[in-house]
Amino acid sequence: MRFVIVGGGPAGTEAATHAARLGVEVVLIERDIIGGAANLWDCIPSKAMIATGGAMSYLNGVGAMGVGDVSGHLDLDVVRRRIGAITGRLESSTERILESQQVEMVRGTGRLTGPHTVVATTDAGERTYVADAVMLSTGSRPRIPEWVALDDRVLTTRDAYPPEVLPEHLVVIGSGVTGVEFVHMFSSLGSRVTLIVSREQVLPRKDPEVAAVLEEDFLARGVRLLKGARAIAIEREGDTVVVRCDDGRVVEGSHALLAIGSIPNSEELGCDEAGVEVDKGGYIPINHHCQTNVEHIYAAGDLSGKLPLSSVASMQGRKIAEHVVGGHSLVAHRHLNYDKAASAIFTDPEIADVGLAEADAFAEGRKIRVTKVPFAASAKALINNDSRGFVKILSDPATGVVLGGSIVGQHAAELISVLAVAVTAGLKVNDIVESMLVHPALSEALAEAAE
Ligand SMILES: Cc1cc2nc3c(=O)[nH]c(=O)nc-3n(C[C@H](O)[C@H](O)[C@H](O)COP(=O)(O)OP(=O)(O)OC[C@H]3O[C@@H](n4cnc5c(N)ncnc54)[C@H](O)[C@@H]3O)c2cc1C
């Protein structure tokens, strides 16, 4: 059984490792770096920059904890080297794992030439692989509207790690997850930031209570929010970037950053030759086993148009590996349930969610119990000198089963794991209440919210 994977991001590398462990002969074709865009541009560099920004913000607050005379000086060269070192280390550790599983790694561009044939174009020429199963996991790239001409001051998220000089005034276009993370990143590093928000709240799809905490933080650190405005043009006037909005408002900055979504890398994959359906948006539709309309060809990650998260991409890769060897028919196999995916936004405070959202429960007319505990009541939050935010748990009033939750506050991305396990395993609020947690710890707020 030969399994050929095109695209070595989180979906591709997880599928390759897992399938190889299950005894399959695996070929992984990657044109850039092992670990994918997630490692090179997206998850890892953005969080490394945010960590530097977080260290700078932390220094601003240590006076209240009795530490005086601390001033942070940002060295962008060090930041750049650090990001390169982290990315390099993750790439080589993933490569080592793949090598140890005897995965054949091919550096090149992969393309289907028929339902069972994949051609890899490498520096050494073309090679055709005949495959029993194929997985497409080529990810996505930033969306650049036709009215934008990129240059050294009009940037996508991929041009920002880190810039040669810190933007004096960055205009961020797009207030979804990526946009707000970049607002947080650059404002904590010291840039002045304006955020263009097309709706009336940042993070338009989030719980308004959650978005309100973030807006409060942005305003407190001097971020300008331009609400109800859609950018329609970006012009350069010397070193100034001029962003024009549909309501006539104009913002001038030193740089503009686009964070308005992504488009899937499906154009040059040979989908037509193999009979694989591609939808109007360029995504490849899949069923609950991640199979495309051609049953032995799978698609995963951003290309599949499901949740654009690295964690989801990896889990799809794992499930595909199991399906390739027929493991999905085993009793222990759990199907993917995208509704149970945890996600986080790495702002300050952090925001994390899992499972059912309150607004969706109301929209469906579903009876739920909602309990909320502010971190202001947490001993550890007070000790940490940051008591912003809250824990909210949604449960079934009849059975006590945990259906979902949101956490806003320090380390929310870590704390949500407790609720993610509860949602995945069908645990009850009482299971959390009766866990003997650490004291003093932020997780105690979870037990209180579960009470
Ligand atoms: C700024 C930013 C920050 C993000 N932060 C997070 C985060 O903190 N947490 C999170 O869970 N998600 C995050 N995401 C989303 C996450 O990066 C993606 O969901 C994830 O990378 C998708 O993984 P993937 O396997 O689909 O592909 P990718 O990581 O996009 O990798 C695809 C790979 O395929 C390769 N490829 C493409 N075409 C070919 C071809 N024809 N032949 C060979 N190789 C090919 C590419 O070179 C690439 O290496 C972030 C996204 C952005 C934009």
- Distance, in Å, from the CA atom of 27 to the CA atom of 134, rounded to the nearest integer, reads 10
Measured CA distances, 345 to 44, 66, 180 (Å) = 13, 30, 8
Give the position of tokens 């964070």: 259
User: Domain of 378: which CATH number?
Assistant: 3.30.390.30
CA 59 to CA 43: how far, in whole Å? 24
Within a domain: 198: yes
User: Nearest C-alpha to atom 9 of ligand 1 is from which residue?
Assistant: 43
Same domain, 256 and 191: yes
Whether 416 shows a pLDDT value over 80: the answer reads: yes
User: Could you tell me the pLDDT band of residue 334, with boundaries at 50, 70 and 90?
Assistant: confident
Q: Kindly give the distance from the C-alpha atom of residue 87 to the centroid of ligand 1, in angstroms, as a whole number.
A: 13
For residues 56 and 188, the answer to whether their CB atoms sit within 8 Å is yes
DSSP type of residue 64: G
Neighbour tally for 75: CB within 10 Å:
10
Q: What is the CATH number of the domain that holds 315?
A: 3.50.50.60
Using 50, 70 and 90 to split pLDDT, how confident is the model at 257? Answer: very high
Q: Are residues 134 and 13 in the same domain?
A: yes
Query: Mean pLDDT, to the nearest integer, of 112-127?
Result: 97
Number of folded domains that form the chain: 3
Which ligand 1 atom sits closest to the C-alpha of 32? 47
Residues 325 and 396 in one domain: no
Identify whether residues 316 and 410 lie together within a single domain: no
For a pLDDT cut of 90, what percent of the chain falls above it?
A: 89
Q: Does 147 map to a domain?
A: no
Same domain, yes or no: 284 and 375: no
pLDDT mean across residues, the chain? 95
Give the distance, in angstroms, between the CA of residue 257 and the centroid of all CA atoms in the same chain: 18
- In this prediction, residues 20-28 reach a mean pLDDT of 97
CA distance 121 to 6: 12
Three-class DSSP labels, 300-358 = CHHHHCCCCCHHHHHHHHHHHHHHHCCHHHCCCCCCCCHHHCCEEECCCCEEEEEECCH
- What pLDDT does residue 331 have? 64
Q: Can you tell me the mean pLDDT for 43-51?
A: 95
Predicted local distance difference test score (pLDDT) of residue 209: 87
The residue whose CA is least distant from atom 20 of ligand 1 is 310
Which protein residues are within 6 Å of ligand 1, measured from CB? 6-12, 29-32, 36-38, 42-43, 46-47, 109-110, 137-140, 157, 178, 265, 269, 301-303, 308-311, 313
Q: Which is the closest atom of ligand 1 to the Cα of 39?
A: 29
Q: What is the pLDDT of residue 76?
A: 93
pLDDT in tens, 341-396: 999 999 999 999 999 999 899 999 999 999 999 999 999 999 999 999 999 999 99
If asked whether residues 170 and 252 sit together in one domain, one would say yes
Average pLDDT over residues 281-293: 97
| 40 Cα: distance to centroid of ligand 1 (angstroms) | 9
Question: Tokens standing for 224?
Answer: 């300008």
Q: Are residues 164 and 127 located together in one domain of the fold?
A: no
Task: Kindly indicate the confidence band of residue 111, based on its pLDDT and cuts at 50, 70 and 90.
Answer: very high
pLDDT band, very low/low/confident/very high, at 291 (cuts 50, 70, 90): very high
Looking at the domain assignment, is residue 339 inside a domain?
A: no
Percent of the chain topping pLDDT 70? 100
Domain with 317 in it: 2-141+263-329
Cα 344 to Cα 91, 172, 307, 409: the distances in Å are 23, 20, 12, 11
Please, which residues bridge with residue 345 across strands? 351
- Looking at residue 294, its amino acid is V
> What pLDDT was estimated at residue 206?
87
The pLDDT of residue 27 is 98
What's residue 163's pLDDT? Answer: 79
* SS3 state at 412: helix
Mean pLDDT value across residues 197-213: 90
- Which protein residue has the closest C-alpha to ligand 1 atom 15? 309
Whole-number Å distance between alpha carbons of 16 and 321? 7
> Residues 50-76: what's their mean pLDDT?
87
What pLDDT does residue 333 have? 72
Lowest mean pLDDT among 57-61, 266-270, 413-417: 57-61
pLDDT in tens, 270-283: 999 999 999 999 99
Whether residue 11 is found in the same domain as residue 132:
yes
31 CA to centre of ligand 1 in angstroms: 13
Last residue of a domain, one of 202, 233, 260: 260
pTM of this prediction? 0.95
Neighbouring residues of 204: CB distance < 8 A, sequence distance ≥ 6: 175, 176, 198
